[in-house]
Amino acid sequence: MYAKKMTESMKTTIETTQARRKKQIAYNKAHNITPRTTVRELDTDLKVEDAGELYNKRSKLDKMPKAERQKVIGELKAKMLAAAKNLEFEEAARLRDEIAKIKKL
């Protein structure tokens, strides 16, 4: 019975996808749009922080007053929202993770 439900669900999903694809192709033809792949460089600044860096950051944040931490969180949140608005999702995700780390302290 589970396999039958799974098959029906998959069939529905595939049909929905195909219908959406047909609509998109028709829209593209009507508006003379030629789809093309987005090409951009990967973020070269992504790196794994070593344990020493994390310890230093944590010890600095532990000493920071709560009001100051809230201010830093606010600034990071504003930067995160701006990055998301500019479609810089890797940067927005990095800032979101940084905010989460600060909130845990």
| Assigned token pair, 17 | 């996808």
Same domain, 28 and 56: no
Tens digit of each residue's pLDDT (9 = 90 or more) over 31-55:
999 988 877 776 655 555 555 555 5
Domain span holding position 8 = 1-36
pTM above 0.75, yes or no: no
Cβ count near 95 (within 10 Å):
21
Same domain, 32 and 55: no
Length in residues, the chain: 105
In a domain, 46, yes or no: no
In a domain, 10, yes or no: yes
Beta strands in 51-98 (DSSP E): none
In a domain, 58, yes or no: yes
In a domain, 42, yes or no: no
CB 66 within 8 A of CB 105: no
Q: How many domains does the chain have?
A: 2
Tens digit of each residue's pLDDT (9 = 90 or more) over 1-16:
556 666 888 899 999 9
CB 99 within 8 A of CB 76: yes
